[in-house]
Amino acid sequence: MSFETLTATATPETLLLRKNAPIAPYTTFGIGGPADFLAEVYTEGALQQVVREAMASGTRWLLIGGGSNLLVGDNGFRGLVIVNKIEHLVVTGNKIVAGAGADLGEVVEAARERSLSGMEFAIDIPGTVGGAVRGNAGAFGRSVADVLTRVRLLEGPDLVDRAPSELGFAYRHSRLKENSNIVVEAEFALQPGDRAEMDRIMGQHAAQRARRQEKGLHTAGCFFKNPVLPDGSKIAAGQLLEAAGAKEIRDGGAGVHAFHANYIVNRGGASAYEVLRVADEMKRRVQQANGITLEEEVMVVLDPEHAAG
């Protein structure tokens, strides 16, 4: 990858590019070694430029938004890490258009301020719009796909608008997890709502999340998806883990959250491998107790070695 080519045209308003930059500060786990290159992109044009250069040079890339639902290995990433900072947010009528780098909480608050209903479920879900779309983030029986009407993607070097029906949304999944397309922008369609009722619902949701989202804790949120049973119903992974005694599991600086058995916490200085050993033991206990194999919701990126280019 030509570091010099990109830095020659970069400005602080569009693109920041560094060599050998640590990834940990860009993840909610606070874990992750250095990237060969790390680019913060602030515009669609800068994102296109970075991806085109990576494609031309055969450089692999990893996209990061808010860095939640992500565990990066201690050896870092051989290639380019792109941090999406495209953060515009525009409200027109009952629609909200937001850049992929915008905080999902800002979209929820923009809807609340205008009494637009439909995003209440997302109160306090960590991460960015792009990550929420890619993983079809949700809670309390609702998900992002329920209110999504359009997604702008970078498909290779080209910007393309897609309808949600083209993206294969399912529980905590979309086709975007299966390819290298990058979310650039999302459009949400909401409905006029009663502000007092919206505040009541959001208050209830926020209260349920409060204990598991203590300030200062480094965690990626729910580590495992809620399993789907043979009859099509779901059971909470946290419920299975608590019954299996997962809250007592510790390994070095990593351990299971005291209040939510599906959260792994970096208690200080945890390595990625300590987190993974905790996760493996969590899975083992549930498998042994219930015959259910938990599936990771967190994306795990491990490189065996790191060398700057």
pLDDT score, position 8: 56
Residue 206 in any domain: the answer is no
Question: 144: domain CATH number?
Answer: 3.30.465.10
Question: 242: domain CATH number?
Answer: 3.90.78.10
The residue from 84, 108, 130 where one domain ends is 84
Q: 202-211, 222-231, 250-259 — which is least confidently predicted? A: 202-211
Give the separation between CA 145 and CA 49, rounded to whole angstroms: 29
Count of structural domains, the chain: 3
Same domain, 55 and 145: no
Same domain, 160 and 251: no
Question: 80: domain CATH number?
Answer: 3.30.43.10
List pLDDT tens digits, range 142-183.
Answer: 999 999 999 999 999 999 999 999 999 998 899 999 999 999
Read off the pLDDT band of 109 (50, 70, 90). very high
pLDDT score, position 307: 40
Residue 214 in any domain: the answer is no
Residue 52 in any domain: the answer is yes
Read off the pLDDT band of 3 (50, 70, 90). low
Residue 221 in any domain: the answer is no
Read off the pLDDT band of 208 (50, 70, 90). confident
Q: Which residue has the tokens 């993983």?
A: 135
Same domain, 94 and 192: yes
List pLDDT tens digits, range 21-67.
Answer: 999 999 999 999 999 999 999 999 999 999 999 999 999 999 999 99
pLDDT score, position 90: 98
Look up the domain containing 192 and give its range. Answer: 89-197
Same domain, 143 and 166: yes
Residue 170 in any domain: the answer is yes
Same domain, 251 and 159: no
Residue 246 in any domain: the answer is yes
pLDDT score, position 38: 97
Same domain, 119 and 95: yes
Residue 80 in any domain: the answer is yes
Residue 299 in any domain: the answer is no
Q: pTM of whole model > 0.85? A: yes
pLDDT score, position 230: 85
pLDDT score, position 4: 60
Q: Does the pLDDT of residue 309 top 50, yes or no? A: no
For range 238-254, the mean pLDDT:
97
Same domain, 12 and 49: yes
Read off the pLDDT band of 234 (50, 70, 90). confident
pLDDT score, position 217: 79
pLDDT score, position 6: 67
List pLDDT tens digits, range 81-108.
Answer: 999 999 999 999 999 999 999 999 999 9
The residue from 84, 100, 125 where one domain ends is 84
The residue with greater pLDDT, 172 or 186, is 186
pLDDT score, position 207: 83
